[in-house]
């Protein structure tokens, strides 16, 4: 009898492990690498912690439903109250793909870790410029994302020199070596969210060209800052699309040559 119970218990454990192995946890819609870059570019280190060189991690837990909607956010662990607020805000801006059980979307409790490293932070911002646009309105704090037709004013790219997106792409696009060699051309379409502070998040390649063009298009978009969309007199989050064309034969490459 004891042997039979042991066999049943072991079988139950095995089945449980097999079922767990078939579950894929929620993933950021932009992918892990791009999401990590977004966090790095937009993390604002608490001043007191930075001055004292205090580093640590903040783990934010939340629930993702079968449609990919995240809610029930809470700070699971933290080294600093000020850092908790920063991490919580950033994690709330991340969009998610739902967890899958044998390919079927399911609800899932998960967490995301935000790393605060004072030395790395200082080193990063010595090499980079933090972009900002002149913002005059209060930001909506609901984290709701609006589509084009719901807005009073759509998001617009901001360039301090009065330029525009077409001119920015013309002067900054670096045609990938692989694409030139393989004569790959076409239009990369990117979907993304403009946050209430004008930063760009949740970049997804909707139409891929390959040959390094996708990565270059993402790089160009990552380095832009926007005037956020407006709704009810406040800056709001908004869904956006951007096409970036790689065309052989046009002088749109940084080196100035025609290919």
The Cα–Cα gap between 236 and 248 comes to 38
pLDDT band at residue 11, thresholds of 50, 70 and 90? Answer: very low
Find the distance separating the first CA and the last CA of the chain, reported in whole Å: 79
* Domains, in order of start, for the chain: 24-127 (3.30.2420.10), 145-246 (3.30.2420)
Is residue 151 within 8 A of residue 236, CB to CB? The reply is yes
DSSP letters for 67-135: TS-EEEEEEEE-S-HHHHHHHHHHHHT--EEPEEETTEEE-EEEEEEEEE-HHHHHHHHHHS-------
Q: Is the pLDDT of residue 8 over 90?
A: no
* Torsion sign across C-alpha atoms 210, 35, 116, 130: positive
Q: Which of 9-13, 84-88, 165-169, 240-244 has the lowest mean pLDDT?
A: 9-13
Q: Is the pLDDT of residue 14 over 50?
A: no
Is residue 54 within 8 A of residue 82, CB to CB? The reply is no
pLDDT band at residue 249, thresholds of 50, 70 and 90? Answer: confident
User: For the chain, what is the radius of gyration of the CA atoms?
Assistant: 22
The Cα–Cα gap between 171 and 186 comes to 18
Q: Is the pLDDT of residue 42 over 50?
A: yes
**Mean pLDDT across the stretch 175-200?**
96
Query: Which residues on adjacent β-strands are paired with residue 146?
Result: 238
Q: Is the pLDDT of residue 30 over 90?
A: yes
pLDDT at 12: 47
Contacts of 184 (CB under 8 A, 6+ apart): 178, 209, 210, 211, 213, 246
pLDDT band at residue 257, thresholds of 50, 70 and 90? Answer: very low
Burial category of 129 from C-beta neighbours within 10 Å (exposed 0-12, middle 13-18, buried 19 and up): exposed
**Mean pLDDT across the stretch 141-147?**
98
In the chain, what percentage of residues exceed pLDDT 90? Answer: 86
pLDDT at 253: 46
> pTM here?
0.88
pLDDT at 244: 97
The Cα–Cα gap between 187 and 207 comes to 7
In the chain, what percentage of residues exceed pLDDT 70? Answer: 88
Q: Is the pLDDT of residue 202 over 90?
A: yes
Q: Is the pLDDT of residue 154 over 80?
A: yes
**Mean pLDDT across the stretch 52-66?**
98
Average pLDDT, the chain: 91
Which of helix, strand or coil describes residue 110?
strand
Q: Is the pLDDT of residue 56 over 60?
A: yes
Q: Is the pLDDT of residue 254 over 80?
A: no
pLDDT at 126: 96
Distances (CA, A) of 194 to 37, 72, 83, 110: 16, 23, 23, 25
**Mean pLDDT across the stretch 17-40?**
87
* Torsion sign across C-alpha atoms 90, 92, 95, 99: positive
pLDDT at 99: 98
Distances (CA, A) of 115 to 8, 87, 127, 135: 43, 9, 19, 28
61-109 tens-digit pLDDT: 999 999 999 999 999 999 999 999 999 999 999 999 999 999 999 999 9
């Amino acid at each position: 009898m004891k042997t039979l119970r042991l066999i049943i218990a072991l079988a139950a454990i095995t089945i449980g492990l097999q079922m767990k192995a078939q579950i894929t946890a929620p993933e950021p819609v932009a992918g892990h690498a791009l999401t990590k870059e977004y966090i790095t570019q937009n993390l604002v280190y608490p001043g007191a912690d930075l001055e004292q060189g205090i580093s640590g991690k903040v783990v934010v837990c939340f629930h993702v439903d079968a449609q990919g909607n995240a809610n029930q956010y809470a700070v699971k662990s933290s080294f600093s109250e000020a850092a908790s607020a920063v991490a919580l805000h950033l994690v709330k801006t991340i969009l998610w793909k739902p967890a899958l059980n044998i390919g079927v979307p399911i609800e899932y409790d998960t967490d995301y870790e935000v790393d605060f490293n004072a030395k790395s932070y200082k080193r990063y911002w010595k090499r980079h410029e933090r972009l900002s646009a002149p913002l005059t309105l209060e930001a909506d704090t609901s984290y709701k994302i609006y589509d084009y037709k719901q807005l009073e004013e759509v998001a617009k790219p901001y360039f301090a020199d009065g330029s525009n997106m077409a001119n920015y792409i013309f002067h900054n696009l670096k045609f990938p070596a692989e694409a030139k060699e393989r004569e790959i051309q076409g239009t990369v379409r990117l979907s993304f969210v403009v946050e209430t502070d004008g930063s760009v998040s949740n970049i997804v390649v909707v139409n891929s060209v390959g040959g390094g063009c996708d990565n270059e298009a993402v790089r160009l978009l990552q380095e832009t800052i926007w005037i956020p969309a407006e709704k009810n007199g406040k800056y709001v989050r908004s869904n956006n699309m951007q096409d970036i064309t790689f065309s052989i034969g046009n002088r749109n490459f940084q080196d100035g040559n025609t290919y």
